[in-house]
């Protein structure tokens, strides 16, 4: 026996699809910005700035890192020697002596008057002076 599908049975799938379509809901499309400056999530800020900085290949000509020059070995030795001489001068003042240190840039004079330490610093280029007075020192130390 041969079976044929008649047009009468096609209405059953159409009825099932129409009942299923009645249960669907539609909603509006809602735009949510990514950038926190425009109302997006504030937690996206760090991610966005790190992406922007990783893509930035411009260099700032005024950046201090590019202006720094490594001092030469002679400059480092001179600085170390001046530091050592100033330390020795302060040690001598602690023992009751006065002293003076003359460098290319400064003249440092240190005098201890009965527990009152006076440090006079003179800039050799401009002639400006600074005076530092420390009182309350024990002259026996």
**pTM confidence score:** 0.44
Q: Locate the domains of the chain by residue range.
A: 9-55, 73-134
Contact of 76 with 82, CB cutoff 8 Å: no
Strand pairing category for 106-113 and 116-123: antiparallel
What per-residue confidence (pLDDT) applies to 69?
A: 79
What per-residue confidence (pLDDT) applies to 41?
A: 87
**Phi, psi for residue 76 in degrees, rounded to 5:** -65, -40
Measured between its terminal Cα atoms, the distance across the chain in Å is 127
What per-residue confidence (pLDDT) applies to 10?
A: 64
What per-residue confidence (pLDDT) applies to 140?
A: 54
What per-residue confidence (pLDDT) applies to 119?
A: 85
What per-residue confidence (pLDDT) applies to 66?
A: 60
Mean pLDDT for each consecutive 10-residue tract of the chain (141 residues)? 57 65 72 86 89 85 71 88 84 76 85 81 90 72 49
Pairwise CA distance, residues 87 & 15, whole Å: 101
Pairwise CA distance, residues 58 & 7, whole Å: 73
Pairwise CA distance, residues 130 & 9, whole Å: 109
Q: How far is CA 136 from CA 16, 37, 111, 122, in A?
A: 102, 59, 14, 24
Cβ-proximal residues to 89 (8 Å cutoff; 6+ apart), any chain: 99, 100, 101, 108, 110
Q: How far is CA 123 from CA 3, 40, 85, 110, in A?
A: 116, 58, 18, 15
């Amino acid at each position: 026996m041969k079976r044929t599908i008649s047009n009468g049975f096609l209405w059953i799938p159409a009825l099932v699809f129409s009942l299923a379509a009645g249960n669907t809901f539609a909603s509006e499309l809602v735009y949510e910005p990514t950038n926190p400056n425009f109302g997006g999530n504030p937690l996206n800020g760090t991610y966005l700035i790190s992406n922007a900085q990783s893509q930035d290949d411009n260099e700032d000509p005024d950046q201090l890192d590019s202006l720094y020059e490594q001092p030469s070995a002679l400059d480092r030795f001179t600085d170390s020697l001046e530091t050592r001489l100033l330390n020795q001068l302060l040690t001598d003042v602690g023992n009751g002596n006065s002293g003076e240190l003359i460098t290319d840039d400064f003249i440092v004079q240190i005098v201890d008057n009965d527990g009152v330490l006076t440090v006079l610093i003179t800039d050799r280029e401009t002639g400006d002076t600074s005076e530092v007075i420390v009182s309350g020192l024990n002259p026996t130390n």
